Structure 1
Amino acid sequence: MPHLRLEYSANLDQKADMSAVCRAAHEAILSTGLFEIGAPRVRAYPAPHYAIADRHVENGFVDMVFRLGAGRSAEDKKRAGDAIMAAVAAELAPLLAAPHFALSLEVVEIDPALSWKKNSMHARLRDQ
């Protein structure tokens, strides 16, 4: 269970392919070797209402939160975060080259006592 949630300013819908961003992030998560194929979930949500910095009309943001189960080392969590940030930054390079964009990522470890899951995909994918 790693889940990556991207919240972004809705003005980016005209400037970036958020489906491609999700695919790049998903590939980055799997490339770490830390998670099995049935585990990652990546999703993006536009924020239609926002106020950023000086409220310049061109300002935009992508804020990412990567939640993962407990038990991984700090080095593994950092490696996953580095991979995600690099992949998303590469996908959004034109925005990062402009003076109106902010990209952020936070890695959050989930308390296993407070997390419930049911997943029928794992069995199917493990048999492949």
Structure 2
Amino acid sequence: MPHFTFDYSANLEGLVDLKALAKLIHQTMMETGLFELGAIRVRGFRTDIYAVADLLEENSFIDMSLRIGKGRSEADRKRAGEAIFAAVSAFLSERFETPHFMLSLEIREIDADLSWKKNAIHPRLRQKTI
């Protein structure tokens, strides 16, 4: 954990550097100090089919979701969300200059009893810090 995904409207391609956005999110998550490097996953998904607000062709969105394991305080979850949302908002400031863009973020906790995982990256990265 954590898993960070963002769905974006297809009309943002060419207008937003989505790879740079993913790296910014990753960097911001690391800066919070709440997440281990070997666990972070940031993924973006292009959405080709969508209907936004008043259906104008130029309407666009990025909908972000952060799924994390239980154990962090509400204050820490809120701090992480605020940091990520602020960094992404600043990165996308040009999009907010038009009246056609929406940005959202939701943080959800994953139930450990209903989550299975294997991670071969953790041991490699943990070894580097010793």
On whether the aligned pair clears a TM of 0.5, the verdict is: yes
Q: 1:77 is paired with a residue of what secondary structure?
A: helix
Offset of residue 52 of structure 1: 0.3
Per the alignment, residue 106 of structure 1 pairs with 106
Root mean square deviation of aligned Cα: 0.7
CA distance in 1, matches of 2:110, 2:23: 23
- Match in the other structure for 1:9: 9
For residue 65 of structure 1, report the CA deviation from its aligned partner.
Answer: 0.6
Q: Within 2, Cα distance between the matches of 1:115 and 1:84?
A: 24
4+ residue segments displaced more than 4 Å: none
> Could you list the runs of 5+ residues in structure 2 that have no partner in the other structure?
none
Residue identity in the other structure for 2:60: G
Instruction: Tell me the TM-score normalised to structure 2 length.
Output: 0.96
CA distance in 2, matches of 1:82, 1:39: 20
For residue 54 of structure 1, what is the amino acid of its counterpart? D
**Equivalent pair of 1:68/1:108 in contact (CA under 8 Å):** yes
The 8 Å contact of residues 20 and 91 in structure 1, kept in 2 or not, is answered as no
Partners in 2 of 1:116 and 1:124 — Cα distance? 20
> Normalization by structure 1: what TM-score?
0.98
Q: Does 1:68 align with 2:68?
A: yes
Deviation track 1:27-81 (CA, whole Å, cap 9, x = no partner) reads 0100000111111100000100111000111100000010000011000100111
TM-superposed deviation, 1:14: 2.1
Name the SS of the counterpart of 1:68 in structure 2: strand
Paired position in structure 2 for 1:55: 55
Identity %: 52
- Counterparts of 1:60-99 in structure 2, within 5 Å, are 60-99=60-99
Name the count of aligned residue pairs: 128
Q: Distance in 2 between matches of 1:99 and 1:32?
A: 31
Partner of 1:25: 25
Q: Which amino acid aligns with 1:55?
A: L
Q: List runs of 5+ in structure 1 lacking aligned partners.
A: none
